[in-house]
């Protein structure tokens, strides 16, 4: 594995790797399309063994990962926003599988710099999560978002994320989502995989829509799952600090530290809208009907209570 990146700041390392940064096609790992650098480093990712005290936050991309990462960091630090501004999300809560061209540090490099109990982000579907998480009985928070808003958010993200394949037209993109061809594969398999295992593996399964509807209630759910106990005043403060507006304006949470040659936020902001129901601004009636029919087929074996409006 590339080690040189450890001593370089992220931006300096990105500059060094600039000529290798481009929109590459995805590469499959066990049938799941992933970024090529992740696929190339798959054996070291699969071999990663967490500490039993580590917490995994898992999501299909664009489901509310960053939001829950911020909530967890604040809960673990008693609502102290100064401590939670010590570093960007990417360093406070490293992204397990992420790899870039060298010398940019990988998620595994960043994880080595943080002492357990760590908060680890992943987008891996459940069958690709390294076995050590289950063997060590790590806690896992899974966040799911309704498919229609999820694909809209992902479409805008792929427009500005210059290391993902070009999203093409919205029409084409929607098709790729339904066929499981976007990075990290099928949304349908992802949300179902964790849903079916949630009791057996003690996974806290959350919904983006519930968090929008009643953030306080959902923050308390996370607090209890983490065996923490914070005062009402501190919970109120965390609700405020993790509002969409506060996080959009927080440089340590809004991904503004990622250089423009990777995330070009002049195309679309990482903290874009943060709403439920934005899909109605994009899906035509025909697309919505076609999507719903396909959704019913792909989700026929489960009954996950997704809401496309609140």
Ligand X SMILES: Nc1ncnc2c1ncn2[C@@H]1O[C@H](COP(=O)(O)OS(=O)(=O)O)[C@@H](OP(=O)(O)O)[C@H]1O
Task: Categorise residue 98: left if φ over 0, alpha if ψ from -120 to 50, beta otherwise.
Answer: beta
Contacts of 55 (CB under 8 A, 6+ apart): 72, 117, 118, 119, 120, 138, 139, 140, 141, 226
Nearest distance in Å: CB 93, ligand X: 10
How many residues sit in the footprint of ligand X (CB under 6 A)? 19
Q: For ligand X, which residue of 5, 33, 105, 274 counts as binding (CB under 6 A)?
A: 274
Are residues 62 and 160 in contact, defined by beta-carbon separation less than 8 angstroms?
no
- Kindly tell me which residue out of 35, 76, 156, 164 binds ligand X, with binding defined by CB under 6 A: 156
- Which residue of 273, 299, 308, 310 would you call a contact of ligand X, by CB under 6 A? 273
- Tell me the closest approach of the beta carbon of residue 217 to ligand X, in angstroms: 15
Binding to ligand X, residues 213-272 (CB under 6 A):
242-244, 247, 271-272
Q: Which residue has the tokens 């983490």?
A: 226
Long-range contacts of 9-18 (CB under 8 A, 24+ apart): 10/90, 10/104, 10/105, 10/257, 10/258, 11/257, 11/259, 13/103, 13/104, 13/105, 14/100, 14/104, 14/259, 14/261, 14/262, 15/259, 16/103, 16/104, 17/100, 17/101, 17/102, 17/103, 17/104, 18/261
Question: Which 278-307 residues touch ligand X, going by CB under 6 A?
Answer: 278
Strand order in the sheet with 203-207: 119-122, 55-59, 139-144, 203-207
Which helix H or strand E contains 27, and what residues bound it?
strand 27-29
Closest CB to ligand X among 67 and 291?
A: 67
Rounded least distance, CB 244 to ligand X, Å: 4
Choose, from 51, 99, 123, 164, the residue flagged as catalytic: 123
Which residue, 6 or 278, has its beta carbon nearer to ligand X? 278
- We find the least distance from the C-beta atom of residue 189 to ligand X, in angstroms, to be 17
Site for ligand X in 180-209 (CB under 6 A): none
Nearer to ligand X, 219 or 247 (CB): 247
Q: Which of the residues 58 through 97 are near ligand X (CB under 6 A)?
A: 59, 61-67
The least CB distance from residue 153 to ligand X, in Å, is: 3
The residue length of the chain stands at 310
Distance CA 207, CA 149 (A): 12
For 38, 165, 178, 186, 288, the CA distances from 293, given in Å and listed in that order, are 33, 27, 11, 16, 9
Question: What's the closest the beta carbon of residue 157 comes to ligand X, in angstroms?
Answer: 6
Contacts of ligand X in 109-148 (CB under 6 A): none
- Closer to ligand X by Cβ: residue 188 or 255: 255
CB of 272 to ligand X, least distance (A): 3
State which residue, 16 or 85, has the beta carbon closest to ligand X. Answer: 85
Query: Has 123 been annotated as catalytic?
Result: yes
**Residues 6 or more apart whose Cβ sits within 8 Å of residue 135:** none
Contact 125, 58 (CB under 8 A): no
Nearer to ligand X, 16 or 308 (CB): 308
Cβ nearer to ligand X, comparing 8 with 92: 92
- Residue of minimal CB distance from ligand X? 274
The SS3 of residue 121 is strand
Cite the active site residues.
Answer: 123
| List of residues contacting ligand X (CB under 6 A) | 59, 61-67, 153, 156, 242-244, 247, 271-274, 278
């Amino acid at each position: 594995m590339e080690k040189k990146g450890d001593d370089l700041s992220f931006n300096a390392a990105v500059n060094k790797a600039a000529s290798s940064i481009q929109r590459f096609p995805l590469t499959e790992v066990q049938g799941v399309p992933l970024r090529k650098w992740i696929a190339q480093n798959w054996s070291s990712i699969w071999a990663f063994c967490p500490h039993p005290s580590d917490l995994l936050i898992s999501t299909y991309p664009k489901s509310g990962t960053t939001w829950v990462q911020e909530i967890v960091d604040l809960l673990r630090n008693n609502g102290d926003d100064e401590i939670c501004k010590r570093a960007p999300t990417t360093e406070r809560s490293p992204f397990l599988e992420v790899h870039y061209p060298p010398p940019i540090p990988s998620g595994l490099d960043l994880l080595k710099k943080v002492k357990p109990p760590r908060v680890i982000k992943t987008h891996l579907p459940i069958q690709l999560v390294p076995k050590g998480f289950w063997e060590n009985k790590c806690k896992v928070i899974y966040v799911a978002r309704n498919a229609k808003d999820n694909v809209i958010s992902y479409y805008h993200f792929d427009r500005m994320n210059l290391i993902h394949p070009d999203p093409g037209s919205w029409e084409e993109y929607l098709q790729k989502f339904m066929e499981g061809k976007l990075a990290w594969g099928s949304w349908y398999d992802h949300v179902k995989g964790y849903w079916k295992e949630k009791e057996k593996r003690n996974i806290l399964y959350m919904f983006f829509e519930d968090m929008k509807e009643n953030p306080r209630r959902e923050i308390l759910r996370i607090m209890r799952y983490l065996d923490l106990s914070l005062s009402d005043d501190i919970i109120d403060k965390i609700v405020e600090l993790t509002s969409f507006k506060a996080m959009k304006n927080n440089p340590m949470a809004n991904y503004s530290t990622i250089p423009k040659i990777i995330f070009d936020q002049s195309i679309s902001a990482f903290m874009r809208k943060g709403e439920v129901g934005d899909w109605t601004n994009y899906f035509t009636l025909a697309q919505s009907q076609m999507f719903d029919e396909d959704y019913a087929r792909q989700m026929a074996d489960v009954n996950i209570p997704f809401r496309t409006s609140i």
